[in-house]
Structures are given as structure tokens and as C-alpha cells.
Chain A
Amino acid sequence: MIAETILLKARMGNTDSHTLASARAAGAYRASAKTLAAAPEEIVQLVKDSGLRGRGGAGFPTGLKWTFLPKNRDATYLCVNADESEPGTFKDRLILEEDPHLLIEGIVIACRAIRCAHAYLYIRGEFCLPHERIRAAADEAYAAGLLGPNAGGPGQAIDLTIHRGAGAYICGEETALLNSIEGKKGQPRMKPPFPTNVGLFGKPTVINNVETLANLPFIVEKGPDAYRAIGTEKSPGTRLMSVSGHVERPGVYEVAHGVPMRGLIEDLAGGVRGGRKLKALIPGGSSTPVLTAEEAYAVNVDFESVQAAGSMLGSGGCIVMDETTDMVWALDKLAHFYAHESCGQCTPCREGSGWIAEIVRKIATGKGTRADLEKLESLAAQIVGNTICVFSDALAMPVVSHVTKFRAEFEAHLADRASSSSAAP
């Protein structure tokens, strides 16, 4: 039996956990107060020592990212990525709704560390309650002087601007997010230059995920060693896993990195619904390669273990599919999502995403041929690696993994399937 390890969810669960009064009574802003006496470099060092890795998808070491900022700079921005639109992922939403002060405290700490006087929070357009909550929390924080002209110490401002997106998945990609805040069309920028050099309004900028920043108060308050005591060597701390799909109790579970995936599904999420068997599992949000049941049950919830199994822990969006799932239709859903969300700049992604979605639909509806299946695989290979952002890779990975791991199902859907091949599910 595994249990949750509560670090970020500590104050959540009661009806007014989102208010300043409630949060403060439970210890909020103690850590950020502590940083007022610290030099920025010390905070950066602390975070580096903690081994904190980004929760937005790539798992990039947070402290290291901060050190990429140029030494001499006249302004620095922090952009908080609250666009959370990856299918299967809904953990930032929990923080925004239930403990927005945890995030604001994390923002204040990050701002102190990177000498940022103005943070922007980019929040997904469809997030109504989360927006209401973070807005109200920011107002409270301003009123209490936790944000505002002296929030970083006497005469040192930390301002927070909340920017609502209009509902585009691609705006979660960090440079598209920057464009969107600047009032431009939300499409990714070329890299280099990287945002830490040329970011928001052309200034050095750090972009961090909501959950990433929410880890900072604990790290500051308890220290890197306490943080490293949780989780694994390469994946310290806990992880908010969004579990959805065919389980008895879908939800956001906080587990120490390194727990078995089986434990997360069976002990915490109540197991596959109706006592059915697991067929497939997407471990880290829709863009991560799907795992077969055997693979899923063999991995642990940490970056390195999932990676060793050929997938990624990504943003921790765990989509569970039971034995009744038609994997062709599952891919169809994903393919249509990506075709709809490609920003359309890059030729391979713009044309490839629509083409792939069409072919998957053709196969799913029984009209596909062997040539279509081949085309599907070659197109997936064709869109990888030659685009401005990794969106196209994020589409190719599910396509390739679905087709290769569940090939028989795809073949069974083909109009010209060999009569010997097994019947449709």
C-alpha cells in the first residue's frame, strides 16, 4: 500500500483554504519572510541544492535555469506558466483553486532569487474559478504588503500581473506565452535566443510552472536536505499526479517521487474501474508516449524510471485506459486535439498535424488501408525535429507509440486487412 506524501497539499481541503487568513494561520509566507534577509544568490543556491526540477513538462533543473540569466541586466521578468492545457493534466488548477497563496509565496521567493520586480502570471482562459481565486489572493497579498512596492524589502517592489489567455494550448509553450502576454499572436519564437537572455519585452525572463514555484516555500523553510529526503536522487520532492480515465477515484494525488505507478493507480486512485484490466497508460500528459499495461506496472513515478521505459513523466498527467478502450479511437482524440492546437507556423506541423488526424479518423472509421497506416507512420517521422517548437514532437510521440504498441488494433480497423488477421475488438 502506498500513501500520499503531503507537501504541497498540506493546507488544502478545507473550504477557506484559499484565503489569506486561513493560509497564514497554517504558516503561509513564513518562508518568503525568511528570504528577505537572504541574498539572491543564496536563494538560488538553496534551490540548486534542493535538486528541484520543473513540473511544466521537461523536468529542467530550476536553479540551473535561473543561473542562465545574464549577470548584468537592467530588468528581469518572471512568468508563471498557469496555462495548464495538456490533456490529462489538472494539478496546477488545484493549487490555484485551493491554495493560491502557496503559489504567490513561491512567486515572491523566485522574484527575490532572480531579482525580479514584476512577475506575470499567464492563466489558461477556461480557468474561471482558478482565475477568480488567484485574483482574489493577489488582491489580499497586495493589501497585506506581501506584493507591491515593498514586497521584496524596503523600496523593492514585487508586482504581479495576472494575464488571462484566450484558450490556446500552444500558449503554454514558454515563448508563445511571452508573445501572448505582449499582445501578439500566441506562437512560439525561435530559440536561440533563449528567454533567459531575450524574453518578455526583450528582457531576461524566467518561465516556471505553477507547481514548480509552489515547491519553493518548503525548500526555503525546511532546507534542501529535508527536500531531498523525499523522492529519489534524480527526482527529489513530491509530484502532483493528475489521474484520469478508467479509474475508480480520479483526482490529483501527491506522491513522493519514486513510488510504484501501480500503487498510484491501485492504492490511491482505487484501481481500474469496475475491476477491469489495464490496457494502456499515458504517464505524463497527452504528449508522452503511451505505455502498455506491463510497462506501466513496471515503472515508478519519477523522471528516470519513466524515461527508462521509453516515455516521460512530463507534467504528471496520468491517463488510464482499461481493456475496453479502442486504441485507434484513443489516438483519434489526441490527433484531433493536436491538429486543432498547432499554431500553424511551421510547415511540417501545420500540414502534418491535420493530415495525421485525417488518416487516423479514416482508419478509425474503417476506411483506412494498409497504405494509410504506412503513411501515418511516415508522417509522424516526418514532422519530428524540423519545427520551431516541440509541439510536433509532442504529436509524433503518441502517434508512434500507439501504432507500434497496439499495431494489431490498427490493422484490425483497416478496410483491406488480411482475412487472417484477428477480428476487431
Chain B
Amino acid sequence: MAKFTLNGVEREVPDGINLIEAALLSKVRIPHYCYHPGLSPEGNCRMCVVEIEGIPKLQTACTTLVADGMVVETESEKVIQERTEVMEFLLRNHPIDCPICDQAGECGLQKYYMEHGLHDSRVAVEEKILKRKRVDLGPLVVLDSERCILCSRCVRFCDEVAGVRELVLANRGGRSEITTFPGRTLENPYSGNVVDICPVGALTSKDFRFKVRVWFLKTADSICPGCERGCNIYLEQYQNEVQRIRPRANPDVNRWWICDDGRLDYKWINRDRLLRAEGEAGTHPPERADEEAARMLKEASSVLLVASPRSSNENLFALKRFRDAALPRAALVGGSFRKPWEEDRILKRPDRNPNRKGMELLGLSGDLEGALRTGPECVLVVENDLLGDRPELADLLRGKKLIALASNRDATAEAAALRIPVCTYAETEGSWTNFEGRTQAFRPVLKAVGESRPVFRVLEGIARALEASLAWSDFETLRAETFQAAPALGGLARTSGGGAHAL
């Protein structure tokens, strides 16, 4: 631990961290552009200057490690003047693009100009250096060179995190520009992160730009459903449709990043949704759907319940309780036929199910194919697109009465005799346990789409129709029961450190 004095107050912080981080621990924010906690410090923007007793020149906080006895001033007159001057330089060639810039509202220049600039411009608009606009860097990212403040975060991200040299700061002085190396494009599987870390509107996402002003977005903390890593994300919606996914910092899981597949893994939430329960005789209101399912299950001589490693722990537990209470003789197995993808050394894990581990810890794994082969008369599939993932299963499923609890019109739902809409993870509370056994909660950002209900509520309804007693007063009760019944889940994981690191 190091004892240092910050703006007159003595603080104790861990050794070996820089002054930006040390100050943040005491809720003092030091403005900065080029520093990012996930990248090596470069000290080029000069925004983070602070005054340190005994050193005549101002020092950059991002490159100075805290030391015992250090006396640091972050708001002295000298510091404030220097910041204002740096702001003036940064804005000197910056275009007047705010009205048409996607970054407006979450822009580092706007933010710090309001906090530390507010100088009158000494530049005539026609004196600004013109640079390239709308440069296509790769499949996901567009560059506006005029807006770039040359902080080199994007370059360092590619070099240090993605591990590929795709971007470079070319030329010198005022002609400096971000560009891809000749003959290359920005196409590494993590390229979208550069948009998030770009402190200004220079790098924008082709997927998101011009869709909606950021101040209209509603945001929820969530978890990426893409693979068993369980990267922490923000889900952001407008008009009850998910508009974008951004990484949410978690030092223990995904640090500050997500992969591009995860970033784009939301379109299905808005598209091809099952809005109403549908049976062979047409659509059903929810209650009728539950009764219909109950009837099919009761009439069958043998029943197989199929759980999914994409369901939340709570829904999986509810399914177990449903079996015990309503259909004690039914078989219950969990599994997935999703094809794995290629693992990498960064975040991507081979198993593309976010809750494989939770399902296992709840004792629900098993031989899915074998269970199907035993020839159950009725199969209830919960949040599991068996046919979409493995079309050959059609043979095995032929002649069986299929009930699907599904959010989307996937192949399994379409083939089912009865399909009941359920909420996606974007509309409900829940938790997934990642491959390391870390149980992480996600929160709803959308209102339930159509007549979809959380899985556990549908199961309650079917149980009711089967005259079994199964009811949770609210989600929290279900969660508490789940964690109590399966201590191996470990309850919700605590993260070891800082949350989002905006700017």
C-alpha cells in the first residue's frame, strides 16, 4: 500500500497503480484521452497532467505510478490552465460535426470541453486542416480522420489485445492520420472494440451509426449469450428493440472487450419472434396454451423434457421443480447440438452456450440423443433449437408430439405441434454460470415481446393445469431457491474491481 496526498487529503491505495487509477479509487476523476486501463500507457494526449510536489513540471498522471509520500494536486490553477490549453489544441483542427456525429452525447471532447475548456475559439473555421472523411476501415468500422484526436488507443488495441497489426498512425505532425497498413483491412475478430474505446467520433460502428441518438437509448447490464465465457455487456434499446451491444468492463471475465460475434449477437432478439402461442388448431391465449400443453403431456405414455444450456439457472431449476411436482415419471435431460466455434486466446470459448456449466452444476446434463432414441411419445423442449442446430434430428423426432417453449420461430418451434412464446434473456432476469463457474446475472432491457412470458411462468401455468402445486411469488424467490438448492453455483459472483471505465 502507498500513502499519498490527493488534493490535500491523505489516501491509501495499492502500490503499482498510476495516478489516474489511484485518484479514481478516491472518486477523483482526472480527465484523460489516450490512457485506457486495458492498454499500455503512451502519454501522448497530455490531458491528464497533475501537479506533484517537488517536481517543477506538470506530470502526466497516466504514466506516473503512485508513491509513498507523493503530494498530488489535480485541480490547481496550473493544472486547470494546462488542461484548457490542451483542449484548445485538440479542438483546433476538430470539425464542427457535432450535429451529424454519432458520438455526440458520449464524446470525450464534448465532455471535457464543458468541464475544462469553455474557451473562446481562436480559430477560423476555414483555417482547420481538412482530412479524409468516411474511410472504410473494415467490415465493422468507419473512420472520420478529421474527428480523430490521434490518441492511438485504436492502434494499441489492435497491437496489444487483438494481436494483429492492422492500424497504424501514419505521417507526422499535423498530417498524422490513422490508417490501415497498406493492403490490410481492420478485420480482426475483435475490431468493434475500437469504436468503444475511441474517445471521440472518429471511429463509428457501421452497424450502429445513424440508427439512434445515444441519449434515447436505455441500457441494462447483461451477459453475452454467445459462448461460455459470459462476457459482461451493456444491452441498449430504443423503442423496445435492441440497438447495440457494448462491452461492460469486468476485470475477471472479459476485461474491457467483447468479440465481434458477440457484439452483433442481438439481431435475433428483434427478429422472427414468436408472438403468440400456436397449436395445430391456430393461436392460443396464454392460459389456453398452458392447458393445451398440459393435456398433451398428460395424454402421453412417456414424456421427455429437454433442458438447454442457453436457459438461465433459474429457468433450469424451475424445469427441475416442474418435473418433480407435475411429471415425476418424465425423463429430463439437458444438452445442446450447437456446433462449437473456434476458440481463441483472447475471449472466445469453443462452447457456444452461455450456461453449459450451470446446467451441469444443476445436474441436468445427459445423453440427449440417447434419451430421444428411447422413443418418448411427447417431448417438451425448452429454449433449445434442436432441429436448427442439428437438422438430422428430424428423423428421431418424427412421430413424436413436440412442444416447444421458444422465443423465436426457429426450426424446432416451427416443427412443434404446440409452440409457446417465452422471453429472451433481454426481457427477463436470470443468471448464467460461465465455464469457470462464475455465476453472473443479467437484467432485462426490453418489455416482453408479444405474449411471451418468462419460462418459469409458463411452467407454472402448465403445472397449474396439471393440478400440481408450483408457484413463485416473484423472480427473487425463485433465484433464492435455485441458489439454495444448488450451492455449487456459488451464488452471484462478485467482481474483483472497477466497473465501466468511461474515458
Contact = CB atoms under 8 A, between A and B. Distances in A.
B150 A344 contact: yes
Contacts of A343: 172-173
B176 interface: yes
B77 to A, nearest CB: 15
Contact of B173 (A354, A375, A385): A354
B86 interface: yes
B172 A340 contact: yes
A347 B86 contact: yes
A350 B174 contact: yes
Contacts of B47: 347
Nearest to B47: A347
A385 B92 contact: no
Interface stretch (B38-46, B215-223, B416-424): B38-46
Interface residues of A, number: 27
Interface in B8-48: 41-47
Contacts of B227: none
Contacts of B89: 347-348, 350-352, 355, 382
A330 interface: no
Contact of B46 (A341, A342, A344, A346): A346
Given A347-B46, A350-B150, A385-B58, A339 B86 contact: no
Given A351-B90, A385-B58, A388-B43, A344 B85 contact: no
A156 interface: no
Nearest to B56: A385
Contacts of A354: 93, 129, 173-174
A305 B45 CA distance: 37
Interface in A97-149: none
Given A190-B63, A386-B49, A344 B86 contact: no
B171 A387 contact: no
B149 interface: yes
A345 interface: yes
B225 to A, nearest CB: 40
B291 interface: no
B398 interface: no
Contacts of B129: 354
A168 interface: yes
Interface residues of B, number: 33
A319 B88 CA distance: 34
A134 to B, nearest CB: 26
B106 interface: no
Contact of B85 (A350, A353, A382): A382
A175 to B, nearest CB: 12
B43 A385 contact: no
A339 to B, nearest CB: 6
A185 interface: yes
Contact of B172 (A170, A347, A348, A382): A170
Nearest to A371: B122
Given A347-B47, A347-B90, A347-B149, A386 B172 contact: no
A342 B49 contact: no
A377 interface: no
A347 B173 contact: no
A386 B82 contact: yes
Contact of A185 (B93, B169, B174): B169
A266 interface: no
A360 to B, nearest CB: 14
Interface in B151-180: 152, 168-169, 171-176
Given A346-B44, A346-B46, A347-B45, A341 B86 contact: no
Contacts of B127: 358
B345 interface: no
Residue picked from B57, B85, B168, B171, most chain A C-beta under 10 Å: B85
A125 to B, nearest CB: 14
B169 A350 contact: no
Given A341-B172, A358-B127, 8 more contacts: A190-B41, A342-B172, A344-B150, A345-B42, A347-B47, A355-B89, A382-B88, A386-B82
A-B CB proximity, top 7 nearest: A344-B176, A354-B174, A351-B89, A342-B173, A345-B44, A382-B85, A344-B173
9 contacts: A348-B89, A353-B174, A354-B173, A358-B127, A375-B122, A386-B46, A386-B58, A386-B86, A388-B43
